Every structure is written in structure tokens, then in C-alpha cells.
Structure 1
């Protein structure tokens, strides 16, 4: 007889909380009920690719969150996390025989959408699936800000900083396609740590705002009568500060605000398809914060609270008190396991609710008086 598999309650609670936060962040910023197609090319949204409808060998296509639920239920889907400036493809020419159930009037193709090999379930320069059943190496995957591909940390050509969750990354390929970014990297990006070096750098070594400004602003401080340089990028280029132009680049928080937005640089960014770099609301962090805020607002409209509106004041108070009491008791019950590092089983949970049920029956029976 196999023993029931158990895990530490601490692990369960922490993992559950992390999963809820991640789901709120990624999915909370997208509509799960209505197709996003009428919104046009959405600034950022959660996307999926359907291997059932558009397998490898066909045309790449992506569908919005709502269509993944309503039109592709039971299909083999690839979760793409988020992509920018994308319009839902569900039911267009790329989906032979499938009609979108949520929105019917769609163009044959969305010409401004951008696709990569992620839409066929492979990622990184190694073009492997995720999760990869043949890869025994534990490694995190990080999304490039520019191409939005997901790359293994060990394939970035740089040691991944400890605080990578607070930074944005641009892969080496995208850096080389836009050489002017190397100039910014020499002044704005984190410390250079090649893969063959020992990983002894920390987030504390990331250049701080004042250090970067010191490079940019001296020419403006020489004399108040001098004309302020119109192009920040030219000032950086004139400083002759160099950086090894290899490997991915990790950028600290708010680095986008340091980019030059003069007319010439705006045109350069536009020509390279990088205008979004001047928009700090384009970041995944901004999208996730929006999702968390939306989830909090949604939670404010609890169905239980809506049902209570139909009850009188006394009934409302009785139900609310009963609900809060049970929640508090369950929390206290579980915390005893967590505090002692014990495991909790389904039998423990059943026992708790049986006790609650007996307690409820005693309360409902009313007070007992001795004669």
C-alpha cells in the first residue's frame, strides 16, 4: 500500500501565494471574458499559441486570454506569457475551419503582429521546449525586452545578477542589431560579469542614478550660459567610456528614463522599431502592477458580499461572523503545523471540518438548560 504523499505546509502556503500573485500579475491585466481584437494592437497582453490549430510547419498565430478559454478549450496550447502590440489572431485565415466564438468580424491577417519561434513552443537560442523533458539542468528563463524571446540563463553569455527580477534584459543578438544600445550600456547597465568569471557581483554594484548623471551632466554644469546639449546619446558617445560588446545586458530599474528623447534619437528608435523603450509603462513590471490592481478591485466585488445584499441586517451579521470565525480558526489550525514544521494531510483537513460541523450543530441546537 502506497503511503499518502505529503509536503511541508510552509512550502504549500508559500507556493500557493506565489502562484496566486503570478496569476494575478500576468492574467489580471487581460480580459478573460471578451476577445481583445476590437481593441486593436494591444499594448501588452497575455497570449497563447495553439499547437492543435496552428502546428509547426504552418503560419505562426497567437490568441488572447479569452479565446484560449472559449475557443481553444481542450487544445494543446503554448503559454507565451505576454507580448506587446499584438492583435488576437483567433479565427482568422491562419485557423482553417475554426471560427472565433467571441468576435466574428476579423481581418484575414494582422499585418503588424510580430512572431518568433515561441509561437511553436520552442525558446532560446537552443530552440528547445519549456519545460524540456530532456534537460536535466536547473535553470531560469529570462525574457528579452526587445525580441521578447525567452532565453536560458546559461545561454546569455553573462552571469545572471542575483536581483534579475528587478531588472530588464536585452539579449546579445538584439544589442548587436542596435549598436547604439552599447553606448547606453557602458553608462547605464549593470556590472559586466562574463560567464567564465566567478559570480561574486551583487545588485549593490549596479550604477546608481547619481553616478550615471555625473557622466551626462558635467557639460551642462560648466557654465549656466552654455547651451545644454540637445542629444544625451552624443554626450555619452563623446565620453569614450567603453564596454565589452558581448553577452546579454541587464539594465537597472528606471533605465529607460535615461534614454535620449531628442528628435534625432526618437527617429532612430522608431526606425529600429524600439520606440517602446521610451515608454516606461511598456515594461512587464508596469503590466503586472496593473494586473494586481485590477485583481484587487475585482476581489472587492465578492460574490458572497453580493449575496448578502438580499438578506436582512441580522442575517448578514450572523453569516459574516460565522465566516470570519471559521476563517480565523482554519488559519490558526494551519499555523500550528507551519510553526512546528509539520506536514498536513487530507485527513487533517477533513478532521478540522468535521469539528466545525459538530460545533455548528451544537450552536444551531440552541442553549441547553438543566431542570
Structure 2
């Protein structure tokens, strides 16, 4: 068997656990049993778009987690990860032949919902699906915290920094639409991406101020604010310190960067007019949402499908399943240890053969008749 057809079971297990953890972080923060519509425009929730009910060419629509399970089972769904300030559309005017099973009494439209090409299964500036069957390049996709579109790392116009999973990103388009963000980027943004882009374009490097330099710029304004009735504008103080980076490419921001944004009346009005007041809310972040989801999951162990299934069985059946599971776990461990001892890689055929043997043993036990303990 050629090397390309082999697979390390450890890699498979680790990948499966990672995917399960990611999915749990997203889904545990949303209600899987009740339609979110009565809550109004939910601050952040897991969303789906149904290609079966609202295909491309029609009106974009999004449905909550519970409706994706109860109303759109078996449909062609696009997973949208999470979106902010969205109200479930399931069963409204956009769904001509479907009524919501969980909450049929809904307005015809949710006028404050915002939609993008994501709702038709395409992403990034290249407007391609994900995963893309025609794209052979391995590339992670990163979500912009403003427009919430997903972009390929190679289409961001900058170098993706290390530790990106703990950072927020604003795409170049959103930066250019809100020019004041570039001023913040001079002092708050992750430095590596911008510096490296300057090196690659052959332009001279300009030193980006560190945290101490930024504080030196902001501190005079802070001192004046104690003396004045109206707080001074931190953004205005930063604008006077000059430009330090190229006005191009996406920008990555470190954790807690939102707490450094100016919240004076003028800046609050500016953010409100741009529909970006959420930037002043640190609990708006996807990371904060996922942390809440993990806490919810820890508080609700009863949602474990295995435990729910066991609860519906009598004591004898529960013990039979538990003993059977433990036996299989022991046999699988022994099976894998043989490969580890010989330094061999486990192949799909090996795994298939293991479970076929398990099934064969089970049939022999059944054919042997019942066993009674005396």
C-alpha cells in the first residue's frame, strides 16, 4: 500500500477532538432546542443559511441553531459560524414553502438583519465556496470583526501573524471605509504584519510605536480630561502623532485592544453612524462568546447524547452497554499497541478489519445463546 493511503490514528483522533472542541465552542453558546426569534436581535449566535429553501438568486436569509435542527433537517445548509445582532428568519416571507415548527408567529421580515454573500455559501474577496473543490491550496480562513466575512489568509494583503487565534482582524475594505481605524492601527495593531509588508514592497521601514510610546501620546489628553468638564478625545491625540504604517492590507489587533479605543461623545457618535458601536464592547468578541459557551456546556452535562441515551435504559441495559464499551476500549488499545511496538502506521484497512472482528465476535456471542449467572 502506498504511503499516501496510510493514516496515523493519533492524527485522526487529535483532529477529531480539535474539530469537536471548535464545534462545541460555537454551538454551546446558542440554544439548540428553542428558536431564538423571541429574543429579538441576538447579540451573537450560531447561524445557518438554507440553500434548499433560499437558493442563490432569491433573498438571503439566516436561521438559528435550533431551527437548523428542527425545521431544516436534511436540507443543504451553509454554516455561517456566528453573526452579531441577528434575528432568526426561519419561516418568514423569504421561505415561501416552509413554516417554522418552533415559532410560526413571526414578522414577515427582520429589517435590521444584515446579509452578505456568505448567506449563499461564498466567502472572501474571491467569492468562492468553503471548502472549495477547485482550490488545492491549503489556507486558513479568518473572519473580519466588522463585516464578519471570511477571507483566505493569502487574500488579506498582509502577513498573517503568529497567535492569530487570539487576535481580531479587520479587513482592508472595512479599514478604508472607516479611515479613523488607520490611526488606531498606528498605535494598537499587531506590528509584525505591517512591517513585513513594507519590507516585501521595498519601501523603507518606519518604526511602529510601542505601548510606552502610545501611552506617552495619550497621557497628556488624560491629564487634560481631569481638568476639563468634557473628556478630551484620545483619537485626536493619536492623530497628532503622525502616520506609522502603510494604509493597505488587513490589520490584526491584539487581545483587549478594544479597551484602548476612545469613548468620548464624538467618537461614540462616529462609531454609531458607522454601525460599529460594538467595538467598544469587549464581550462582543467571538472569543468571549466561545468562553460563555464552554461555561454553559460545563454546567449542563445532561446534554451529552450518550448520557441521555443511558438515562432512557434500565439498570441491566446500562451495565451491558458500559461493559461492552469498556471491553471494546481495552481491545482497541491492545490492537493499537501492536502497531506502536512495531513502529507501523495504522491504515484505514486495519481499522476496518478491527471493527469487522468486533462484529464477528458479537455475532458469536449472540449465536451462543443467553448466559445466566448463578
How far does the alpha carbon of each residue in 1:208-255 deviate from its partner, in whole angstroms, 9 at most, with x for none? Answer: 75564344225547x998669632112211222432111111111111
Deviation at 1:137, TM superposition (A): 2.2
**Structure 2 stretches lacking a partner, 5+ long:** 202-206
| TM-aligned CA distance change 1:225 to 1:177, over 3 Å | closer
Deviation at 1:269, TM superposition (A): 0.8
Name which of 216, 220, 234 aligns with 2:218: 216
| TM-aligned CA distance change 1:182 to 1:82, over 3 Å | same
Q: Which residue is equivalent to 2:129?
A: 129
What are the residue-to-residue correspondences of 1:183-202 with 2, within 5 Å?
Answer: 183-191=183-191, 192-193=194-195, 197=199
Q: Is the 8 A contact 1:49 1:79 kept in 2?
A: yes
Q: Which residue is equivalent to 1:342?
A: 345
Distance 1:138 1:121 in 2: 19
Deviating beyond 6 angstroms after TM superposition, the runs of 4 or more aligned structure 1 residues are 205-208, 308-312, 315-321, 352-359, 364-367
TM-score scaled by structure 2?
0.81
Q: Does 1:20 align with 2:20?
A: yes
Distance 1:68 1:246 in 2: 39
Q: Which residue is equivalent to 2:204?
A: none
Q: Is the 8 A contact 1:231 1:260 kept in 2?
A: yes
Q: Which residue is equivalent to 1:202?
A: none
Deviation at 1:206, TM superposition (A): 9.8
Q: Is the 8 A contact 1:142 1:169 kept in 2?
A: yes
Q: Does 1:258 align with 2:260?
A: yes
Deviation at 1:309, TM superposition (A): 11
| TM-aligned CA distance change 1:206 to 1:182, over 3 Å | closer
Deviation at 1:311, TM superposition (A): 7.6
Q: Is the 8 A contact 2:30 2:65 kept in 1?
A: yes
Distance 2:52 2:329 in 1: 46
Distance 1:325 1:180 in 2: 60
**CA RMSD between the two structures:** 3.8
Q: Which residue is equivalent to 2:290?
A: 288
Deviation at 1:259, TM superposition (A): 0.6
Q: Which residue is equivalent to 1:156?
A: 156
Distance 1:224 1:83 in 2: 36
Q: Is the 8 A contact 1:29 1:287 kept in 2?
A: yes
| TM-aligned CA distance change 1:328 to 1:89, over 3 Å | same
Report the count of equivalent residues: 355
Q: Is the 8 A contact 2:187 2:210 kept in 1?
A: no
Q: Does 1:268 align with 2:270?
A: yes
Q: Which residue is equivalent to 1:48?
A: 48
Distance 1:118 1:78 in 2: 8
Deviates more, 1:91-100 or 1:342-351: 342-351
| TM-aligned CA distance change 1:93 to 1:218, over 3 Å | same
Distance 1:329 1:52 in 2: 44
How far does the alpha carbon of each residue in 1:8-50 deviate from its partner, in whole angstroms, 9 at most, with x for none? Answer: 1111111111111011011111112211111110111111111
Deviates more, 1:300-309 or 1:345-354: 300-309
Deviates more, 1:6-15 or 1:343-352: 343-352
Deviation at 1:321, TM superposition (A): 8.6
Q: Is the 8 A contact 2:171 2:250 kept in 1?
A: yes
Secondary structure at 1:217 match in 2: helix
Q: Is the 8 A contact 2:187 2:211 kept in 1?
A: no
Q: Is the 8 A contact 1:158 1:193 kept in 2?
A: no
Secondary structure at 2:244 match in 1: coil
Instruction: Decide which structure has greater helix share.
Output: 2
TM-score scaled by structure 1?
0.82
Q: Is the 8 A contact 1:50 1:78 kept in 2?
A: yes
| TM-aligned CA distance change 1:154 to 1:33, over 3 Å | same
Distance 2:211 2:197 in 1: 26
Q: Is the 8 A contact 1:48 1:64 kept in 2?
A: yes
